[in-house]
Chain A
Amino acid sequence: MLEAVRSYKLLWIPVVFIILGMMQPISAYYMPEILRMSGDVPPGMLELYEMPGAGEVMAKSIGQYGTVGLLVLALSAMNSFAGEREGGAAELVLARPLTPFAAASAKWLAQLTLLALSLGLGAAFAGYYTIRLIGSLSWSAVLAASALYGLWLMCAVSLTLLFSACLRAPAAAFLSLAAAAGLALLHSLLPRPLNWSPAALPQLSAQALTQQTAAPAVWIFPVLSGIALIVLCFLGASLSFGRNKLPRF
């Protein structure tokens, strides 16, 4: 946690999330002006532009966190174990009367705090701007959508923590992003047989905003499998940190 304050992470990551969240509604609102300023737009094109619905814009803002946000989170979490090990602080931590489980849970909680703070603030700003500029939106839908999306992001962050415990930092960030992308790709290729996987969460999050009714039964399996993935990663990370093997590559 102290590491997060010292490296300014607790400051800059929420600010980046807020900016990302604000930009989507603002650019949707000013799209005709942006197109006009960018030059040659055939006449009649601008009349075709339709303001997207509030739910759609909000879903897109949250979707921003799946790309840039995920990259930022993975790059910031990759050092949590690997940085300590390479800097030599891991021996200090392990020499104290502290179980690896406690050390891992402290790191995990620090990441969770960072994610919840960033996503909460970002979604609140995005929601405020969407309501001001585009149209009304129920805050409970925003909350449900960001909670679902947050669970997916936490899966990715937990994967980064797991890889960070057993690999070098850049490899950890790369592998966890690849794993998250692979899960998402698999889900988009086989949506029906894989509708229980955590990769279904971003889609469910968007549906919570664009459709008024969403059956809780659809949510249960992705949510449960997401939580299971997080727990598995966490246990794996604490086991691997406890052994504190030297990184292999």
Chain B
Amino acid sequence: MKTIDLSLLWPLFALQGLLAVIGLVSLVRARSVRGPKWMWAIIILLGNLLGSLAYFTIGRKE
């Protein structure tokens, strides 16, 4: 069994974290979003890639 090499995986986690941070910053600064803000915060934090993606594509109001 291969041991999981963390040096390969940490960039992936770092990027996911970065995406979540960008999402949260834009959420805090947005004047209004579709639906309650706390709901989107939970989605971004728990939904990994898909959660942030959902927020950026359907949650934001232009």
Determine how close the nearest CB of chain A comes to the CB of B42; give it in whole angstroms: 18
Contact B15 A33 (CB under 8 A): no
| A243 interface contact, C-beta 8 A | no
Contact B19 A12 (CB under 8 A): yes
A-B contact count (CB 8 A): 54
Chain A: number of interface residues, binned into ranges: 20 to 34
Contact B4 A33 (CB under 8 A): yes
Q: Which residue in chain A gives the minimum CB-CB distance to B56?
A: A12
- Given A8-B22, A30-B2: A16 and B53 within 8 A (CB)? yes
Task: Determine which residue in A12, A26, A36, A132 has the highest number of CB atoms from chain B within 10 A of its CB, and name it.
Answer: A12
CB-contacts of B12-56 with A (<8 A): 12, 15-16, 18-19, 22-23, 25-26, 49, 52-53, 56
Determine how close the nearest CB of chain B comes to the CB of A129; give it in whole angstroms: 8
Q: Which residue in chain B gives the minimum CB-CB distance to A87?
A: B62
Q: Is the interface of B mostly helix, strand, loop or mixed?
A: helix
**13 chain-A/chain-B pairs, Cβ below 8 angstroms:** A7-B26, A8-B22, A12-B23, A12-B52, A15-B15, A15-B19, A22-B11, A22-B12, A71-B57, A75-B57, A75-B58, A79-B62, A87-B62
Determine how close the nearest CB of chain B comes to the CB of A113; give it in whole angstroms: 18
Q: Which residue in chain A gives the minimum CB-CB distance to B60?
A: A7
| A179 interface contact, C-beta 8 A | no
Assembly CA distance A75 to B25 (angstroms): 20
Assembly CA distance A15 to B25 (angstroms): 15
